[in-house]
């Protein structure tokens, strides 16, 4: 009612008799204008005397919602406000201000009413959104019914899609963003579907509006009806028969973006120059909103495309570990965020599970997320422990923050599918949720640390063993926190969803249940979920032996490896694997004390690992480099302790690890709580 109202004013005495009235009151309340003078207020508006008496008694205005019956028999809902008066005309005690809706037949008669409905009441209400589709619908809700009976908003495809090809001979293509109509006829939607792309040939009023950027009058006559038949849309001729049309351009610094099509049927007056003035004022303001929403939509699409290209296209893990992920972009009201996830298979039947969240939104957050993903892949390849990997990421974030402040949160978990051990570290991230089979879910008590790029606090990891079938649920804050829900309530709700029995359910169902209810949130942040069902590899696919740090252990290691490979049916890899194990065990014996552990793992490939108590990292010594001058580092020397061993020749040159590099598809070193592990991997036949 606020945007299409007519204001009536009555001057009253203390008895409620009408002493004065304006033209609108005379037109709406009485068939005979002179009949209002001296009439009682209750005779004109039933129930209006009570607020009059209350206002006079209290000396303050009173408002009531009442029904007003017009001389034609129509009943209008009216807002009646009575203002006490003093010092006015003799006998004048109060003014009654009555607001009634404008009848549909008269809504296009008064330019002041139209201007107010379009420019003062409607636009501020819809102009706050940056969603182009919502904005288009909102603008049509303002135009129809306050300016026209039906209408549409069309925008050039070239301004919506950068990849749109140039205009063809039929004219530049336009996309119909929204339509509006006030008669409830479903034929409008069928004849003018939203989202349709259409081209108007040169010489038509539509092409003229695009070419000149000026308002264009048009009418839908018989010739136009024949054109509608040529379009194979017969309903168009009936819907727009005899209609008066006005095209209003939508412009920006980039040029003409499109236009509004406004039409009035034969029951209302046609458009005139006064309407053009009001319509152009509306289109000028609407153009600003459309341009802002268009730019936002394109920037958001760019950021979303960039982010999706930076997210992983596939997740890797040992065969007994089942991993599932879900990523949900933020709502259209929120810019693209920097949430990300990773599942990276590591040598020796291990897997790194990572979830992170870059603060902020937009292209910068997506780019920072891509940098962190690249860094985490590199650090995972170096097989650093989770805490040390996060410390390196923190250093990277500090470097990035020297030019522009950045920070992020991250949870990093490494699971060993041989022994069932988990090591987890977190930097300002929400705690992972652990769901054991048949037990209650619990949030992991991870030692707290500040977000990456923020504080100087230490990052500490926690180790624990999990039973097979346990779920590990990693997530970002968008899943458990929003404007209407506290984060503690969200965490409690997530724990209920992943309650007893959840460990046996399909991972896809769990992710869907966790996301239930977030799709309707118009201010939803982006969400990343990574859930893994952890399980050890079968015992017959790995073997380990403890060996003394004695040269004689090399011969025993060879025999153990050969026997195991024959049992596994991998006899063709026996010779190469025996030589590799010999090199690794020999290096460990020469550079450490105490007992060693030799382990074979058949998972994805054949991995041979040697664990010792030294923290020195072996490296390949190149030609001409003297041996024994690198404190804390192995030089790759090999000595089997047996004079006929081929490795004796390598001992003289210090290039034993060259053999490993030649025979294995890859090799590396990782730190362990008790020292280090040197490993090499061969492809299975």
The string over 42-77, giving b where at least 16 C-beta atoms fall within 10 Å of a residue's C-beta and e elsewhere, is: eebbeebbebbeebbeeeeebebebebeeeeeeebe
Peptide bond into 145 cis (omega under 30): yes
Between 507-515 and 487-497, two packed helices, what is the crossing angle to 10 degrees? 150
Quick count: other Cβ atoms within 10 Å of Cβ 260?
25
User: Maximum Cα–Cα distance for the chain, whole Å?
Assistant: 132
Task: Record the pTM.
Answer: 0.65
In the CATH hierarchy, which top-level class contains the domain 313-534? alpha beta
Residues 616, 630: contact at Cβ < 8 Å? no
Residues 521, 612: contact at Cβ < 8 Å? no
Residue partners of 376: CB distance under 8 A and separation at least 6: 342, 344, 352, 354, 356, 389, 393, 412
> 360 is written with which tokens?
């902020």
Between 363-381 and 273-310, two packed helices, what is the crossing angle to 10 degrees? 10
Closest CA to 359 of 425, 473, 451: 451
Closest CA to 412 of 344, 471, 485: 344
Closest CA to 661 of 605, 584, 562, 575: 584
Query: From its phi and psi, is residue 524 left (phi > 0), alpha (psi between -120 and 50) or beta?
Result: beta
Q: Provide the CATH number for the domain formed by 539-682 in this structure.
A: 3.30.565.10
Q: Exposed (0-12), middle (13-18) or buried (19+): which is 438, by Cβ within 10 Å?
A: exposed
The helix/strand/coil state of 366 is: helix
Q: Which residues is 352 bridged to in the sheet?
A: 344, 414
DSSP secondary structure letter of residue 396: H
Residue partners of 534: CB distance under 8 A and separation at least 6: 321, 415, 417, 420, 422, 466, 468, 469, 470, 471, 472
What is the rounded distance in angstroms from the CA atom of residue 307 to the CA atom of residue 312?
10
Residues 356, 383: contact at Cβ < 8 Å? no
Q: 5-101 with 313-534: one CATH topology?
A: no
Residues 155, 175: contact at Cβ < 8 Å? yes
DSSP secondary structure letter of residue 256: E
List the chain domain ranges.
Answer: 5-101, 111-302, 313-534, 539-682
In the CATH hierarchy, which top-level class contains the domain 5-101? alpha beta
Residue for token pair 């003093």: 86
Residues 453, 406: contact at Cβ < 8 Å? yes
The helix/strand/coil state of 641 is: coil
Contacts 24+ apart (CB under 8 A), 32-41: 36/10, 40/15, 40/16, 41/10, 41/12, 41/16, 41/17, 41/96
What is the rounded distance in angstroms from the CA atom of residue 263 to the CA atom of residue 425?
64
Task: Please provide the size of the chain in residues.
Answer: 685
What is the rounded distance in angstroms from the CA atom of residue 390 to the CA atom of residue 632?
24
Q: Exposed (0-12), middle (13-18) or buried (19+): which is 546, by Cβ within 10 Å?
A: exposed
- State how far Cα 277 lies from the chain centre: 41
Q: Exposed (0-12), middle (13-18) or buried (19+): which is 211, by Cβ within 10 Å?
A: middle
Residues 616, 637: contact at Cβ < 8 Å? no
User: Pairing relation of β-strands 18-21 and 255-264?
Assistant: unpaired
What is the rounded distance in angstroms from the CA atom of residue 634 to the CA atom of residue 617?
6
CATH architecture of 111-302: 2-Layer Sandwich (3.30)
Per-residue pLDDT of 481-538, as tens digits, reads 877 778 888 899 899 989 888 888 999 999 999 888 776 665 677 889 999 999 999 9
What is the CB-side half-sphere exposure of residue 76 using CA atoms within 13 A? Answer: 25
DSSP secondary structure letter of residue 117: I
The helix/strand/coil state of 527 is: strand
Query: From its phi and psi, is residue 453 left (phi > 0), alpha (psi between -120 and 50) or beta?
Result: left
The CA-CA-CA angle for residues 661, 666, 671, to 5°, reads 100
Query: From its phi and psi, is residue 632 left (phi > 0), alpha (psi between -120 and 50) or beta?
Result: left
Strand order in the sheet with 421-427: 338-346, 350-358, 408-416, 421-427, 462-465
- The ranges of the chain with pLDDT < 50 are 1-3, 628-654
């Amino acid at each position: 009612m606020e945007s299409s109202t007519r204001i009536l004013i009555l001057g009253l005495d203390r008895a409620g008799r009408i002493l004065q009235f304006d033209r609108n009151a005379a037109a709406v309340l009485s068939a005979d204008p002179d009949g209002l003078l001296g009439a009682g207020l209750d005779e004109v508006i039933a129930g209006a005397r009570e607020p009059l008496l209350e206002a006079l008694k209290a000396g303050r205005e009173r408002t009531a919602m009442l029904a007003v019956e017009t001389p034609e028999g129509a009943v209008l809902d009216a807002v009646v406000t009575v203002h006490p008066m003093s010092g006015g005309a003799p006998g004048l005690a109060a003014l009654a201000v009555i607001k009634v809706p404008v009848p549909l037949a008269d809504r296009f008669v008064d330019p002041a009413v139209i201007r107010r409905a379009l420019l003062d009441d409607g636009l501020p209400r819809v102009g706050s959104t940056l969603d182009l589709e919502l904005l288009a619908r909102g603008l049509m809700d303002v135009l129809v019914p306050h300016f026209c009976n039906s209408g549409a908003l069309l925008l050039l495809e070239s301004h919506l899609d950068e990849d749109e090809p140039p205009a063809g001979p039929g004219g530049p293509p336009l996309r119909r963003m929204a339509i509006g109509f006030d008669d409830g006829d479903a034929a409008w939607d069928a004849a003018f579907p939203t989202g349709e792309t259409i081209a108007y040939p040169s010489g038509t009023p539509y092409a003229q509006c695009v070419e000149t950027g000026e308002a264009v009058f048009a009418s839908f006559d018989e010739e136009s009806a024949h054109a509608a038949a040529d379009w194979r849309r017969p309903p168009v001729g009936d819907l727009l028969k005899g209609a008066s049309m006005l095209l209003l351009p939508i412009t920006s610094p980039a040029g003409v973006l499109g236009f509004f099509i406004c039409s009035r049927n034969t029951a209302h007056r046609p458009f005139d120059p006064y309407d053009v003035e009001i319509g152009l004022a509306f289109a000028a303001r609407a153009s600003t909103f459309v341009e802002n929403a268009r730019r936002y939509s394109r920037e958001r699409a760019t950021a979303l495309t960039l982010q999706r290209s930076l997210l992983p296209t596939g997740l890797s893990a040992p065969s007994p570990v089942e991993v599932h992920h879900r990523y949900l972009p933020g709502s259209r009201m929120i810019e693209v965020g920097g949430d990300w996830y990773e599942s990276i298979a590591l040598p020796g039947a291990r897997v790194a599970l990572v979830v992170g969240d870059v603060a902020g939104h937009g292209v910068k957050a997506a780019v920072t997320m891509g940098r962190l993903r690249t860094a985490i892949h590199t650090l995972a390849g170096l097989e650093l422990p989770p805490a040390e990997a996060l410390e390196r990421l923190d250093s990277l974030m500090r470097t990035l923050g020297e030019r522009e402040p950045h920070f992020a949160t991250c949870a990093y978990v490494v699971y060993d599918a041989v022994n069932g051990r988990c090591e987890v570290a977190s930097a300002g991230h929400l705690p992972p949720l652990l769901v054991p089979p048949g037990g209650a879910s619990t949030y992991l008590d991870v030692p707290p640390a500040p977000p990456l790029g923020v504080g100087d606090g230490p990052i500490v990891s926690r180790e624990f063993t999990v039973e097979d079938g346990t779920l590990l649920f990693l997530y970002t804050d968008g899943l458990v926190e929003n404007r209407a829900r506290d984060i503690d309530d969200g965490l409690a709700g997530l724990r209920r969803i992943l309650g007893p029995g959840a460990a046996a359910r399909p991972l896809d169902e769990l992710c869907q249940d966790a996301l239930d209810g977030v799709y309707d949130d118009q201010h939803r942040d982006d969400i990343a979920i990574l859930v893994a069902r952890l399980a050890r590899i079968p015992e017959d696919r790995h073997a380990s032996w403890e060996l003394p740090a004695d040269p004689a252990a090399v011969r025993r290691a060879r025999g153990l490896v050969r026997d195991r490979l024959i049992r596994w049916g991998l006899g063709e890899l026996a010779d190469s694997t025996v030589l590799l194990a010999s090199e690794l065990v020999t290096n460990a014996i020469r550079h450490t004390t105490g007992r060693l552990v030799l382990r074979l793992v058949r998972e994805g490939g054949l991995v041979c690992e040697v664990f010792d108590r030294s923290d020195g990292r072996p490296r390949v010594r190149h030609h001409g480099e003297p041996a024994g001058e690198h404190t804390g580092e192995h030089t790759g020397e090999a000595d089997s302790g047996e004079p006929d061993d081929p490795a004796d020749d390598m001992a003289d040159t210090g290039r034993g690890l060259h053999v490993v590099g030649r025979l294995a598809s890859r090799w590396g070193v990782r730190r362990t709580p008790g020292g280090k592990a040197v490993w090499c991997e061969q492809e299975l036949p």
